[in-house]
Amino acid sequence: MTPLALLMHTEIEQISPKSNLREAARQMRDKGVGSLVVSEGDEKIGIVSDVDFVRKAMAEGLNPDTTPIETIMSQPIITIDIDQTAQEANDCMAENGIRHLVVIDGKKVVGILSIRDLVLYYKNRI
């Protein structure tokens, strides 16, 4: 049973809900991540992923320079407790049809886990 603390990324990329789609896409590209946590001050209000860009922004023809990220972000944020296992994280992602989980310790956001992290974990177990 591998704790999520060993699999998750602790550097959480964040963006303002008022930032536009182009800014978010560039940030994701430059940081090499597939999601951004949408934050207003200290409050985490949503998450935006590469899938949101395809299914919500591109498919609807939204203007990347004028559309705020809050338009396509997913909410509420689906979280998992840091003490849960990789299998529980995998099950949660499958049940919710998501590729990114925000990891919490109590009420504090401490990391993010992607489906890619789980794939690498399971690959190395075989």
pLDDT one-digit tens code per residue, 51-100 = 999 999 999 999 999 999 999 999 999 999 999 999 999 999 999 999 99
Q: What's the CA gap between 102 and 60, in Å, rounded?
A: 27
Spell out the domains of the chain, with CATH numbers in brackets.
4-125 (3.10.580.10)
Maximum CA extent, the chain: 47
Q: What's the CA gap between 83 and 85, in Å, rounded?
A: 7
Q: What's the CA gap between 109 and 92, in Å, rounded?
A: 17
- Give strand pairing partners of 35: 49
Task: Give this prediction's pTM.
Answer: 0.90
Average pLDDT, the chain: 94
